[in-house]
């Protein structure tokens, strides 16, 4: 009689074998390459001056209020 263990898992590998890492799968490799091709140019652009001013303003406010205060959800 044929081994039904591969059918029971719905086509998934048996639990004693680990699945390939996401970075080893062909689709994931292709997707990673395509996303970089599409967005690397954009992510390498400098930040707009208005955004830099907002970041600087927020940093100055945090410094004024004390650096010991942590945002909610951040561990001390």
Which positions of the chain have pLDDT values less than 50?
Answer: 4-6, 9, 76
* Per-residue pLDDT, 71: 59
* Per-residue pLDDT, 6: 47
Cα atoms in the 13 Å half-sphere on the side-chain side of 57: 6
Cα gap 41→43, rounded to integer Å: 6
For the chain, how many structural domains are there in total? Answer: 1
Cα atoms in the 13 Å half-sphere on the side-chain side of 4: 2
Q: Is residue 60 domain-resident? A: yes
Q: Is residue 53 domain-resident? A: yes
Q: Is residue 74 domain-resident? A: no
């Amino acid at each position: 009689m044929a081994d039904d263990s591969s059918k029971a898992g719905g086509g998934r590998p048996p639990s004693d074998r680990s699945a390939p890492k996401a970075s080893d799968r062909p689709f994931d490799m292709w997707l990673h390459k395509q996303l970089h091709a599409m967005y690397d140019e954009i992510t390498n652009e400098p930040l707009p001056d208005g955004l830099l001013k907002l970041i600087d303003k927020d940093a100055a406010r945090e410094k004024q209020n004390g650096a010991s205060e942590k945002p909610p959800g951040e561990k001390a």
